[in-house]
A and B are shown apart, each in its own frame.
Chain A
Amino acid sequence: MENIRNFSIIAHIDHGKSTLADRFIQLCGMVTDRQFHDQLLDSMDIERERGITIKSQAICLPYRAKNGKDYILNLVDTPGHVDFSYEVSRALASCEGALLLVDAAQGIEAQTLANLYLAMENNLEVIPVINKIDLPSADPEGVALQIEEDLGLDADHIQFCSAKTGKGVDTVLEAVVNLLPPPTGDPEKPLEALIFDAFYDPFRGTIISCRLFEGRIKAGDTILFMSNNAAYRVEEVGFFRLTREPQKELSAGQVGYIIAGIKTITDTRPGDTITLKDRPCAKPLPGFQEIKQVVFSSIYPVSTDDYETLATAIEKLTLNDASLSFQKDSSTALGFGFRCGFLGLLHLEVVQERLEREFDLSLILTVPSVNYKIFLKDGTMKEVDNPAYYPDPTTIERIEEPFIKATILIPERYMGVVMTLCMERRGENTHHHYPMPGRIEFTCEVPLAEIIYDFYDRLKSVTQGYGSFDYDLLDYRESDLVKLDILVNGERVDALSQLVHRNNARARGLHACEKLKEEIPRQMFKIAIQAAVGGNIIGRETISALRKDVLAKCYGGDISRKRKLLEKQKAGKKRMKTVGNVEIPQSAFLAVLKSDQ
C-alpha cells in the first residue's frame, strides 16, 4: 500500500486536465506513440469534440520514481463541468490527493475554487500545478502568488509545467509520489468500496469503477449495494490500464473495477458503498446522495415511427448514465415521447447529442423547465416540471421556484455587465468581494429557470470569455409565473409552451416569434406565429407564402443529380414536424431556447 497513490486532477474547464493526463500516460510508457491520440481518457466522440470530460475514468499507471522504487499511480479523471459536481465529489472521495491545475495565463477561475473546496471537504492533500507555462501570455509567478495568498496553499509545493510540450511533467509525477500520502486501510476488515462511476458494456453488463477503503474482493464473492441492498455475485475484478486487466483480487487502497453481471445500472449509484453480503461493514461510507435532476425537458422523435427506437435508445443510454431519468410523455403536437430529467443544461445537450449520434435519431426537445411547486387554493401542492400540467391559473394560490446561488469570478472590469446580466435574470441579494487583486467574486441568488435559459452562453459573451461560473441549489421561493403559449396558424404548439416570470413574458414571447420566423421555412401559405398568455396575444410575426421553388433546367446529363436534390428536400421535410398544416423544423424548437447574443 506504501507504493500506491490515488489522485485526481481538478481544474477549471480548459485548463488542460485531459492533456496533462495524456502526458502522464505517455510518460509512464502506457502507450506507444503510434497508439497515442489526444484526450486518451475521453472515449466518447462528443467528449473529444467538445474538449470536455463527461464520464469519470480511472487509469492505473505503473511508475518508477527517481528514488528507484516502483509505484502504482491511480489517476481518477473527473468530469469538468458544474452540472456534474456530485460526480466530481465522488471521484475525489476515492482519492488521497489532488492536483489543482491552474492555467498560467488565466489564473484562478470559479471552478478552480469550487473544485478546491470539494477537495478540501474530502480531506485531500492538494498539490497546485501551474500549467501552460509555455504560453506567451503566461504569468506563472503571478499565478503562484495568487495560489499562495488567495488560496492559502503551500508555495513550496507549487509545480510548474506545460502539459502541451511536456516540460516539467516528470517533476509533477515526482511530486505525486513524494507529496501525496499513500492510502490507508486494512485488507482484513470487512469490505468497504466506494462506487465513483459505472459504465455499461453490452457483453459484460455494468462495469463498476470503485475505490476500496477496507477489505478485499475477488471473483466469486457476493457483493451488496448498501443503498438498496441489491446483491450480486462477482464475476471479475481488475485494474484499468488502457483496457481492463483482470486481477485475482482487489484490496484496501486500490482503485479498480468490478463486474458482477449487473444489467440495471440504476442499482449502481455513484457514492454508494459496496460491501460483502456474508461479512458486511458496519455502516456505509459518508457522502452518498440520491441523484437529483434539476432540468426537465421532453424528448420526441421527429418521425413518430421512431418512437420505439427512441425508447430503446433512452434505455440503453441510461445504462451508462444513471443520472438521466425518464418517463413516458405525450404531446398533441409531437405525439409520444419521454419526459427526461437532467443534471443541468450541458447534461441535456450531451444526452441529445448522444441519442442523435449513437442511435441515428432526429429529435425534438421541448423548452427545458425546472421543477415548480404549485400551491393550490384547495390547500394541496403540486410539483410541475412540465408546462403541459400547469393547472388552471384561477385555482393557484402561489407558485414557488428553485433558486440557486451563482458564484461568478470575473476580472474587475466586467463587474457592470455581469451585474446587469444577473439583474436581467431576476437576481437578488448580490454580494461581491475581491478574493485577489483585480478579480471579483460575485455571488447572486438567481432562479434556476433563468440559468437554464442560456445564462452560461450569455455570461461568456458579456465577459468576452473571462467570466467563470459555478452554482449551488439554494431553496424554493415564491414567484409570479405565467404560462407562455406559442400558436402557429392559430394552433397551440404545446411543445413550445413555457413557464416564465410575468415580467419576462412579453420579451420572451416576442423573441420566440422572431426566432420561429427565422427558422420555419416559407411554405405554400402564409403562416402566423403568435405568443399568448392566457387569452391575450402578446406578440406576432408572419411568414409570407412561398411563391417560387423550381429547378430551371433538367436534362439527361443531370437527371440523377436533380433527383438527388429533390430526395434531399424530401428528407429535409421528414425531419420536420407537422403542426396543423405547418412544417416546423427541429432547429426551430431549439432556437426558441437561445436568447440573442
Chain B
Amino acid sequence: MSPESLPTGFTPASGEESPGLYLHIPFCKSRCAYCSFNSYACQSPPAAYLTALASQIRHWADQQWCRERTFATLFIGGGTPTIYGGNELAELVGLCLASFNFTEDAEITVEANPNTVTMPMLTSLRRTGVNRLSLGVQAFSDRLLGALGRSHTKGEACAAIKAARKGGFTNINLDLMYGLPGQRATDWRESLDQALAFGPEHLACYELTIEEETPFARLVEKGALTLPGEEEVLAMAALTHDLLAQAGLPRYEISNYAASGNQCRHNLNYWRNGSYLGLGAGAVSCLSGFRFSTVEEPEAFAALVQKGELPLSEGECLSLAARFRESVVMGLRMIEGISLARLQRRFGLTPAGYYGKMLEELQEQGLIVLASDSLRLTEAGLPVANQVLSRLV
C-alpha cells in the first residue's frame, strides 16, 4: 500500500471516543507451546526494530487523523516488550508521549515477562510515566509453567511482582491460565490464592485455547496432551468468578477481573470497538472504522520502514451494518454489556430494531438481557457466548 492510498483526512465520526495507541514488540526469549501470537524467539532483540518503530511513531504522529485526536491509553505489548532494556523502553514511551497528544490521566501499560524485569528497569519505566504493569505469570507452579513451555519460574514471578510494587507500580495486572494439561481445580485454586496474596488491581484469567499450528495443537492431534475435562474446566471457571468477586476483583469481561476503577481502559476501548492505532510488526489499527494490519515479520517491517514505505499488509472497511454487528459482538464480551446509547450515537441503530425476532428468541432462551440502557449476556449466556455471538455477527 502506498502512503497516498491511505485515507488521512477522516472527519471525526459522530460518537467517537478517545483512541488508544498500541506498540508491538514481536520478540520473546523462547516461544511457549500454546502461543500463536506474532512473536519470534531471540536472545537479544534487534536495535533496528526499535529504530523502525520510532520512525513509525513519528510518521503517524504527524498524520492529520492523529493530530486531531487526544489518545487516552498507550499499551506496549508483545511478545515480550521487556526483552529490550529499561532505557530503550523508556525512550520509546517518552517518544510516544512527546509525539502524540495524550490525556492528562492516560493509562500507560507495559507488558512484561517475570524473568525479564529488573529493579532499575521498573523504576525507569515508572519515572517515564508508565503507570500500569501487566505481568505474564500464567501459573504459580513450576510443574505447570514447565508444561506450558514458559521460560520463567514461580520464584521469578513472585520476585517480579514484589519488585514492581517496590518500584512504585500501584496498578498491576497478572495474566493467569486455567484448563492446563495436568491442572486440577485444586491447582487452579492455589494459583488464584497465590495471586490474590499479592493484592493485584487486575487479573486476566484465560482458559487455555489450543490454537492451530502451535506445538500444543500438534500434541493434541497425536493424542499426547491430556487436557482437563469439560466439567473440571467449568468448575475452574466458576471458582474464578466466585473467589475473585469475594476478593474485590469482580469480573468485567469474559476473562478479565479488576478492582473498582482499575479496569484496563486500553482493552475496554477494543471491546467498545473504538479507534486505535497499532504500530509495529503484525499490529492492527482501526481508525474510525478503517482497519488495517502491519506486515508480521519484524525484518520485513524494518526494511519497508527504512525504504520509506508504509509497512502495511491488509485493510478492511466494513459497511455500517457490519460495524454495528461487530460492535455488538465485541461489546457483549463485557459483563455490563453494550451501551445502547453509544450504539445509537455511533450507528443510529438499536439491537431490537436491527435483529428483531432473533433477539427476542435469545432473550426467551435466557441468554441475553435487553435492559433500557444496555444489552448484555446473562450468567447462562456467558459460558456459551459463541452460540449467541455467532447469531448476531
Using a CB–CB distance below 8 Å, which chain A residues touch chain B?
524, 546-560, 563, 566-567, 569-570, 573
Knowing A546-B384, A550-B386, the reply to whether A556 touches B254 (Cβ < 8 A) is no
**How many angstroms between the C-alpha atoms of A2 and B193 in the bound complex?**
97
Other-chain residue from A551, A560, A563 in contact with B284 (beta carbon distance below 8 A):
A560
**How many angstroms between the C-alpha atoms of A557 and B209 in the bound complex?**
17
Cross-chain contact B390 with A557 (CB below 8 angstroms): no
Residues of A within 8 A of B245 (CB): none
Cross-chain contact A546 with B387 (CB below 8 angstroms): yes
**How many angstroms between the C-alpha atoms of A54 and B266 in the bound complex?**
61
Cross-chain contact B283 with A570 (CB below 8 angstroms): no
Knowing A524-B365, A550-B384, A555-B270, the reply to whether A566 touches B329 (Cβ < 8 A) is yes
Q: Does B385 contact A (CB under 8 A)?
A: yes
Cβ proximity bits B228-271 to A, threshold 8 Å, 1 near / 0 not: 00100110010000000000000000110000000000010111
Cross-chain contact A556 with B390 (CB below 8 angstroms): no
**How many angstroms between the C-alpha atoms of A557 and B292 in the bound complex?**
10
Knowing A524-B365, A559-B273, the reply to whether A547 touches B393 (Cβ < 8 A) is no
Q: Does B206 contact A (CB under 8 A)?
A: yes
Question: From residue A488, how far is it (CB to closest CB) to chain B in Å?
Answer: 18
Knowing A553-B206, A567-B393, A570-B390, the reply to whether A560 touches B316 (Cβ < 8 A) is yes
Other-chain residue from A549, A556, A559 in contact with B386 (beta carbon distance below 8 A):
A549
Knowing A549-B385, A555-B270, the reply to whether A566 touches B286 (Cβ < 8 A) is no
Other-chain residue from B293, B382, B383, B386 in contact with A569 (beta carbon distance below 8 A):
B386
Question: From residue A523, how far is it (CB to closest CB) to chain B in Å?
Answer: 8
Residues of A within 8 A of B311 (CB): none
Cross-chain contact B330 with A554 (CB below 8 angstroms): yes
Cross-chain contact B384 with A559 (CB below 8 angstroms): no
For chain B, the bracket of interface size reads: 35 or more
Question: From residue A555, how far is it (CB to closest CB) to chain B in Å?
Answer: 5
Cross-chain contact A553 with B391 (CB below 8 angstroms): no
Which 5 A-B residue pairs are closest in the complex by CB-CB distance? A569-B390, A566-B393, A550-B385, A549-B386, A556-B270
Cross-chain contact A552 with B390 (CB below 8 angstroms): no
Cross-chain contact B284 with A557 (CB below 8 angstroms): yes
Cross-chain contact B383 with A556 (CB below 8 angstroms): no
Residues of A within 8 A of B283 (CB): 557
Contact residues, B361-381 vs A (CB, 8 A)? 365, 367
Cross-chain contact B391 with A573 (CB below 8 angstroms): yes
Other-chain residue from B234, B269, B273, B286 in contact with A547 (beta carbon distance below 8 A):
B234
- Nearest to A544 among chain B residues (CB) is B230
- Nearest to A523 among chain B residues (CB) is B387
Q: Does B333 contact A (CB under 8 A)?
A: yes
Residues of A within 8 A of B326 (CB): 559, 563
Q: Does B207 contact A (CB under 8 A)?
A: yes
Knowing A549-B384, A549-B385, the reply to whether A555 touches B282 (Cβ < 8 A) is no
**How many angstroms between the C-alpha atoms of A567 and B329 in the bound complex?**
11
- Nearest to A525 among chain B residues (CB) is B365
**How many angstroms between the C-alpha atoms of A585 and B291 in the bound complex?**
34
Q: Does B22 contact A (CB under 8 A)?
A: yes
Contact residues, B141-195 vs A (CB, 8 A)? none
Cross-chain contact A557 with B282 (CB below 8 angstroms): yes
Other-chain residue from B237, B284, B387, B391 in contact with A556 (beta carbon distance below 8 A):
B284
Question: From residue A395, how far is it (CB to closest CB) to chain B in Å?
Answer: 42
Residues of A within 8 A of B282 (CB): 557
**How many angstroms between the C-alpha atoms of A378 and B291 in the bound complex?**
73
Cβ proximity bits B4-28 to A, threshold 8 Å, 1 near / 0 not: 0000000000000000101010000
**How many angstroms between the C-alpha atoms of A273 and B253 in the bound complex?**
76
- Nearest to B365 among chain A residues (CB) is A524
Q: Does B298 contact A (CB under 8 A)?
A: no
**How many angstroms between the C-alpha atoms of A552 and B326 in the bound complex?**
17
Q: List 26 A-B contacts (CB under 8 A).
A: A524-B367, A524-B384, A546-B387, A547-B384, A548-B233, A548-B384, A549-B383, A550-B382, A550-B383, A551-B385, A552-B207, A554-B330, A554-B333, A556-B269, A556-B276, A556-B278, A557-B24, A557-B284, A559-B270, A560-B284, A560-B316, A563-B393, A569-B386, A570-B390, A573-B390, A573-B391
**How many angstroms between the C-alpha atoms of A556 and B269 in the bound complex?**
9
Beyond A551-B385, A552-B207, A553-B206, 4 additional contacts (C-beta under 8 Å) are A549-B387, A556-B22, A556-B278, A556-B284
Q: Does B389 contact A (CB under 8 A)?
A: yes
Cross-chain contact A560 with B384 (CB below 8 angstroms): no
**How many angstroms between the C-alpha atoms of A569 and B24 in the bound complex?**
30
Question: From residue A156, how far is it (CB to closest CB) to chain B in Å?
Answer: 58
Residues of B within 8 A of A550 (CB): 207, 254, 382-386
Question: From residue B88, how far is it (CB to closest CB) to chain A in Å?
Answer: 22
**How many angstroms between the C-alpha atoms of A455 and B180 in the bound complex?**
46
Residues of A within 8 A of B206 (CB): 552-553
**How many angstroms between the C-alpha atoms of A556 and B291 in the bound complex?**
10
Residues of B within 8 A of A547 (CB): 230, 234, 383-384
Residues of A within 8 A of B38 (CB): 557
**How many angstroms between the C-alpha atoms of A552 and B34 in the bound complex?**
13
Residues of A within 8 A of B208 (CB): 552
- Nearest to B286 among chain A residues (CB) is A556
**How many angstroms between the C-alpha atoms of A563 and B330 in the bound complex?**
9
Cross-chain contact B267 with A551 (CB below 8 angstroms): no
Question: From residue B190, how far is it (CB to closest CB) to chain A in Å?
Answer: 20
**How many angstroms between the C-alpha atoms of A557 and B294 in the bound complex?**
10
Residues of A within 8 A of B209 (CB): 551-553
- Nearest to A564 among chain B residues (CB) is B393
**How many angstroms between the C-alpha atoms of A554 and B293 in the bound complex?**
16
Residues of B within 8 A of A559 (CB): 270, 273, 284, 286, 291, 326, 330
Residues of B within 8 A of A524 (CB): 365, 367, 384, 387
Question: From residue A561, how far is it (CB to closest CB) to chain B in Å?
Answer: 9
Knowing A550-B382, A550-B385, A573-B391, the reply to whether A555 touches B230 (Cβ < 8 A) is no
- Nearest to A551 among chain B residues (CB) is B386
